[in-house]
Structure 1
Amino acid sequence: MFGANASGKTNVLAAMRWMRHAVLDSVADCARLKGVPRQRFALDREAARESSLFEVDVVIESNRYVYGFEVSDVQVETEWLHVYPQGSRRRQVWFDRDAERVDEYRFPSDRLKGPKKPLIEYTRPNALFLTAAGSLRVRQLQPLFAWFNDNLWLVGPDNNQHERDAHTRRELLKPDFRRRVEGMLSVADLGVTGVDAEDRGDEPPEISLVHQGQDGPVPFDIRRQESYGTLAWLAFLGPMLNALDTGAVLLVDELDSSLHPVLVAEVIRLFEDVVANPRGAQLVFTARDVTLLSKAHLERPLDRDQVWKRRTGESELYPLTDAGVRKDESMERGYLRGRYGGVPRIGLRDVAVEVGQHASEANP
């Protein structure tokens, strides 16, 4: 996703993350909170009266699940699950919930087996039926509930960086994982030849990155001697490798933050490589590096249908294919010239003029 600063790109990832949280924790939340702790659109008063709708369309072990819900500040308004088993085109409605109906819950296809009454009684008005089913380990709904647990991880400059760093450190105690990380550090051309991990029991392991000096290997203290770019790459490797191993959907805010454009391009190609990514892990990210839209990388990392733009204000996404981008067109040039929208509306030298104006007022 590309767009101007403060155009709401991060909000799109945050919405996906909130849906994950709602599915996993709405039963626990409803016990300690009143209503639904959603975040409304702040730039329109009418939005407070409208419900928020979330829906995913996923394939798990050849079964396609279309699951979604609507929530207001007070309660879950609607919730549904449609299943297409084993690639079938015929839809099965496993459950359908509507708070305005007298019979709020319906199970029209009778495909969801087992007693329903205990599940309904366990589901409070501000909690999701899927959360209750997952908490009570309903066998048929476990694959979908587990999908939310294992997917939509959010990685960003200010998002759980301490936890991600601690997780990666613990994983480095495993020899196989450490060898993979050493390989990824080596191909990134960071001057790192090895990784030392010291087990400290309950505390995160002490990590040193080994560099080749004139007189032999030299371990660097990662807190004082390593660059921010090296540490950013190291912290990203844990979530990235886990996503590739499990076929997960990984959300990354500002993928190009502190990483060289060539390295960012290789990360994108990694997820597109069917050999390196046999489980079909997906990467959803925000970025501002326009070279990802050009042929500056020999092969353009992103194609037209892979790039989505942001409109300012409301978080409305649209693919560049909707902007009429030709196959041979320079997307980098078109983006910077504002043809697709999503760039700051700043005139030539506007920033310098603004600074100069106030400078002259301060120094008459």
Structure 2
Amino acid sequence: MLLRFRVANVRSLRDEQELSFVASEGSEREQAAARGLALSDGSLLPVHTVVGVFGANASGKSNVIAALKNMKHAVMRSYADWTSYDGIPRDEFALDPKAAAETSLYEADFVLGDGVRWTYGFELGARRIEAEWLYAYPKGRRQVWFDRDAGREKPFDFPGDRLHDRTRLARTTRQDALLLTRAANDGHEQLTPVFDWFKNNLWDVTPETERTQREDYTAVNLLRNEDFRRRAEELLRVADLGIAEVEVEQTSSGRPVVRLIHAGGGERTALDWSAESWGTRSWFALIGPLLLALDSGAVLLIDELDASLHPRFAAEVIRLFQAPWVNPKGAQLIFTGHDPSLLRTPGGGRLLEPGQLWLTEKDERGATELSSVADWEPTDEEDLMASYLAGSFGAVPKVSEGQIGRRLVRTDDLAQMEAEEG
């Protein structure tokens, strides 16, 4: 499970920012909402399975997701791909000329299946890896597996001699490639499990893009796996779309043809896929990644969860990850959204606790600041949706009622005056 993610100098995330899944210690209610994660040292750590990132348009929400994707891509591809670039590909903060000369930081804190907590991170320079580190906590205390600093005469340090093949790894790792990537490409027995965590996690879904591929993925699994079909059809039914079942046919072109069977008035009708609504197709396309993440215990990233889904569907996605009986393997969801109704259940309760709600807001430099609603210490009785809309936590558009209309009228008046004067 993912515990924390740190990032700096990536897109609008200029200064160091941290996103955490670990439940706040001060709230018994929040601790109860979290999942107890058994660590190898015998302790139990309360970890959330869902966090949501909210904020105004262009406040940097999507950049949090992008930074996580960047880290995964670096781990997966630095050894094979980065030789083709003129320097290391980076997304440094664009609004400050000094940022190009500074490193971009990525660090993830996570727990593998054996309960051992790991911290892995690196700093990217323009042409080389400036720093890289890997720590383990098998008994609660930090073990340094390796530490890399490009400014030293010998960049790599391996305290404790825990790592095998140290000399070869240090000799064969290029200055523009990560040691973790290099080791995994050779099947290094000790480091491959850490590499595999990135390989098998941080899957991203953007509702408006790559929908066709996700539709095909869902359809292919309907053909191949009867248990997947049973659960997928149930998810379509509970979404109240009037769908009774799904027909899938494999064609000679390789792309499956999907028809949803609609039941109504005692009749069953199979609609052509192109006749289905955007919302129905978006929900169908999301089912495949959702079930895959739940089955494997992966971390799923969904940018703009509420962009093409009804708030009820979006809330159900959150509930799937929250419910232990549906999510026994501890899969996690990080999503961004706009719709404040996701902060409240129809009955007026909380869908998410304060420590699960993260807010993005840009400062005067155009840099994103990421903060948790838990930092504001709301009471257990506080309506988080009402407080958010009232601006109590910040991170809402600073636009007064009618302001946009007045500016349009003023712009038109100025344009008319300039035309008359001309």
TM-score by length of 2: 0.82
C-alpha contact (below 8 Å) 1:4/1:343 kept by paired residues: yes
Q: Report the 3-state secondary structure (helix = DSSP H, G, I; strand = E; otherwise coil) of the residue aligned with 1:171.
A: helix
Superimposed CA distance per residue, residues 104-143 of structure 1 (whole angstroms, 9 cap, x where no aligned partner): 1111021112x22332333211110000011110011111
Q: Is the 8 A contact 2:261 2:271 kept in 1?
A: yes
Q: Given the alignment, which residue of 79, 91, 104 partners 2:142?
A: 91
The aligned amino acid for 1:301 is: L
Aligned pair partner of 1:48 in 100, 108, 116? 100
- The correspondence for 1:250, drawn from 300, 315, 321, is 300
Moved more, 64-73 or 200-209: 200-209
Q: Which position in structure 2 is the counterpart of 1:22?
A: 74
After TM superposition, give the deviation of residue 161 of structure 1 in Å. Answer: 2.6
Tell me if 1:71 matches 2:124. Answer: yes
The offset of 1:56, in angstroms, is: 0.6
**Distance (Å, rounded) in 1 between the aligned partners of 2:347 and 2:130:** 48
The separation in 1 between residues aligned to 2:350 and 2:212, in whole angstroms, is: 33
Q: Percent of counterpart pairs with the same letter?
A: 45
Matched, 1:311 2:322: no
Counterpart check, 1:149 vs 2:199? yes
Q: 1:243 to 1:44 in 2, by over 3 A?
A: same
- The DSSP-based 3-state class of the residue aligned with 2:318 is helix
Report the CA distance shift for 1:121/1:283 in structure 2 as closer, same or farther (over 3 A): same
**1:92–1:111 Cα contact (<8 Å) kept:** no
Counterpart of 2:160 in structure 1 is: 109
Amino acid at match of 2:130: E
Point out 4+ residue stretches in structure 1 off by more than 4 angstroms. 358-364
Letter of the structure 2 residue corresponding to residue 100 of structure 1: G
Q: Quick one: distance in 2 between partners of 1:323 and 1:211? A: 47
Give the equivalent residue in structure 2 for 1:118.
168
Distance (Å, rounded) in 2 between the aligned partners of 1:111 and 1:172: 45
C-alpha root-mean-square deviation of aligned residues, in Å? 1.7
**Change in CA separation of 1:159 and 1:120 when aligned onto 2, cut-off 3 Å:** farther
Secondary structure (helix, strand or coil) at the match of 1:109 reads helix
Distance 1:89 1:255 in 2: 36
CA contact (8 A) 1:229 1:259 kept: yes
1:332 to 349, 368, 385: 385
Instruction: Compute the displacement of 1:164 (Å).
Output: 2.0
Shift of 1:326: 2.1
Instruction: Give the TM-score, by structure 1 length.
Output: 0.94
From 252, 263, 267, the counterpart of 1:216: 267
Shift in Å, 1:341: 1.1
Of residues 318, 331, 342 in structure 2, which corresponds to 1:292?
342
1:32 corresponds in structure 2 to: 84
Q: Which residue number in structure 2 is paired with residue 181 of structure 1? A: 232
- Distance in 2 between the 1:109 and 1:8 partners? 41
Deviation at 1:205, TM superposition (A): 0.8
* Structure 1 residues 41 and 329: CA distance shift in structure 2, 3 A: same
Residue of structure 2 equivalent to 1:270: 320
Give the stretch that moved more between structures: 4-13 or 286-295. Answer: 286-295
Identify if the C-alpha distance between structure 1 residues 158 and 126 changes in structure 2 by more than 3 Å, giving closer, same or farther.
farther
Give 5+ residue unaligned stretches, structure 2: 1-52, 418-422
Residue identity opposite 1:156 in structure 2: T
